[in-house]
Amino acid sequence: MSDPLRLFEGFGVELEYMIVDRDTLAVRPISDVLLRDELGNVQSETEHGPVAWSNELTAHVIELKTNGPANTLDGLAEQFQSQVSRINAMLSSHNAALMPTAMHPLMNPHQEMTLWQHDDSPIYAAFDRIFNCHGHGWANLQSVHINLPFHGDAEFARLHAAIRLVLPLLPALAASSPIVEGQTNGILDNRLHYYRFNAQAIPSVTAHVIPEAVYTRDDYDREIFQRMYRDIAPHDPQQILQQEWLNARGAIARFDRGAIEIRVLDIQEYPAADLEICTAIVAVLKSLVSENCSSLSQQQAAPTEDLARLLEKTIQSAERAEIDDPRYLELMGVPISGRESVTAGEVWSRLCTQITPDNTVENHSPARLSGLINRGSLATRITSRLGPLPSREDIVAVYRELMSCLATGTPFHA
């Protein structure tokens, strides 16, 4: 048996994409045509070298993920891009293709959602029965998950404290869902907006999205897992859902695999952009874990409710959100020098200047990360192109261009 991975010794990355009609962009619930073994049998997961494909709750979404922990983020973008090309080639005979971004801009999930009907379908049926998955917060969302390892309570405490602090800033980099059912609503990360409320039937499943300030396995089990299991038990007598993965916070502890999974990232227009964002996150987390700007005890004391309020701001306005909590900025090493607030984009710019050789990731320099920030969130670029009252025709044209960006591995420009 191999030794357990320690902090930042491995990375698990998951990318979700929607399958749509090439002409109309209507969702196509045909992920099962991709997930077949050599005998043609539908599987929940198939392996393709360093990348695996798997199903999701709905039949119009396919997930690509590292086939086990990768020891580096470097080179993953190219591996994912290769699989995107392979899937698009397979879908072409069905006049379908993959669409990026975190939400379909025209989908009506109440009418168009189809649950996955193969392996694990009882799990999805239970989710649908309890939470009604025919809504945007379940049926119309594509995200990026990054899994980071820890070993033992001491490492878990350091990593969990750092991740809690970074979560409110992530929509400033990753928001990509500004259009809902053909309209803009002033929110740049609608995926997270709907995600916050998708489990209202059992509020403890999602809680504040920002996870509670608990820093040992026993405390996590008592304060989070057991509370969820008690709350859902009357609705789940067969205990189908009473597992660690029921947890829907923005970062979830997976003690079964020794990792914390960050779940608040909208997916971008092509894999290299997603991996750039993951790289920036890891660099900042390394700095926080090293206590470069604040001590572990200070980080652990950050109130969940305050972090949740900051997250609400970045969900609304992404990189333009005003961050006006001086205690938070001090923890992040971003003094405001007499100003009442700074934007979330400015916070990220300052964080990039703090990246040192000790906490950078592979060959990703601060200048390269600054380029990511200066580009602006994909949601901002989409709304800049479409304007406040986009027509259906304009939306279709822009999202076809985004599909081309995914297919060719190129960025989308405002």
Q: Give the domain CATH number at 296.
A: 3.30.590.20
Residue 74 is predicted with a pLDDT of: 94
Q: For 285, phi and psi rounded to 5 degrees?
A: -65, -40
Sign of CA dihedral 314, 317, 320, 322: negative
Does any domain span residue 206?
yes
Q: Give the residue from 23, 383, 409, 410 showing the smallest Cα distance to 190.
A: 383
CA of residue 9 relative to chain centroid, distance:
21
Residue 316 is predicted with a pLDDT of: 98
Does any domain span residue 144?
yes
Residue 399 is predicted with a pLDDT of: 98
Does this model's pTM top 0.85? My answer is: yes
Does any domain span residue 6?
no
Residue 368 is predicted with a pLDDT of: 65
Does any domain span residue 257?
yes
Domain limits at 62?
A: 12-408
Count other C-beta atoms under 10 Å from residue 296's C-beta: 16
Does any domain span residue 7?
no
Number of domains forming the structure of the chain = 1
| Per-residue model confidence as pLDDT tens digits over 25-73 | 999 999 999 999 888 899 999 999 999 999 999 999 999 999 999 999 9
Q: How many Å apart are CA 191 and CA 345, to the nearest integer?
A: 20
| Per-residue model confidence as pLDDT tens digits over 150-201 | 999 999 999 999 999 999 999 999 999 999 999 999 999 999 999 999 999 9
Does any domain span residue 4?
no
Q: Which amino acid is at 242?
A: Q
Does any domain span residue 3?
no
Residues of the chain whose pLDDT is less than 70? 1, 338, 356-370
Residue 360 is predicted with a pLDDT of: 58
Does any domain span residue 345?
yes
